[in-house]
Amino acid sequence: MKIGPGIATFAALLVCIPLLSCASLSRGASDEDLVRGTVEQFCQGFNEKNANLVEEVLSDDFYGMRNSTKDQLVENLPRMFERLDDLEMDASEAQIEVDGSSATASPVRLQSSAFGVDLAIGLVKEGKQWLITGAERAD
């Protein structure tokens, strides 16, 4: 049986259309997804007591609740992890709001047996990466 040019073209379209539609849908993660990934890495660093993971997602312009800088926070993390061995951070309830090159994730729960606080995490897009610029008590 000989296949005519019309059938061959139709068969090629049947194969190509799904591939083309998948390619257009997979343009990469949205900014909201990237922000959530950054916040989840921040939480993972706290939960695993890994200061390096935390530091990787902090902007050089980071400020903390007590006006601490990035360097001060990174320096104090090992002591904090040692003193508060049950310290946990959870962003499962966080709502992500992206506004251009800035974003907020809130509430992010930071707790231990000694305390608990809901945080609002501020982020900024630096190049293609979202980095944390600050943390303050959520309203």
Instruction: Look at residue 120 and tell me if it is in a domain.
Output: yes
Instruction: Look at residue 97 and tell me if it is in a domain.
Output: yes
Instruction: Look at residue 11 and tell me if it is in a domain.
Output: no
> What domain count does the chain have?
1
Predicted pLDDT of residue 108:
98
Predicted pLDDT of residue 74:
93
Q: Which of 95, 137, 103 is nearest to 119 (CA)?
A: 137
Confidence band for 12, pLDDT divided at 50, 70 and 90? very low
Confidence band for 1, pLDDT divided at 50, 70 and 90? low
Instruction: Look at residue 56 and tell me if it is in a domain.
Output: yes
The reported pTM is 0.78
pLDDT digits (tens, 9 = 90+) for 73-91: 999 999 999 999 999 999 9
Question: What residues make up the domain containing 86?
Answer: 30-137
Instruction: Look at residue 98 and tell me if it is in a domain.
Output: yes
Helix (H, G, I), strand (E, B) or coil at 87: coil
Predicted pLDDT of residue 5:
53
| Mean pLDDT for the stretch of residues 33-41 | 98
Instruction: Look at residue 100 and tell me if it is in a domain.
Output: yes
Predicted pLDDT of residue 129:
96
CA dist 84 and 1 (Å) reads 76
Write the CATH number for 106: 3.10.450.50
Query: Phi-psi category of 127—alpha, beta or left, where left has phi over 0 and alpha has psi -120 to 50?
Result: left
Instruction: Look at residue 78 and tell me if it is in a domain.
Output: yes
21 HSE (CA, 13 A, CB side)? 5
Residue tagged 């907020």 (tokens): 104
Predicted pLDDT of residue 68:
87
CA dist 80 and 62 (Å) reads 18
Q: CA of 53: how far to CAs of 23, 44, 115, in Å?
A: 32, 7, 23
Q: Are strands 58-63 and 129-137 parallel, antiparallel or unpaired?
A: parallel
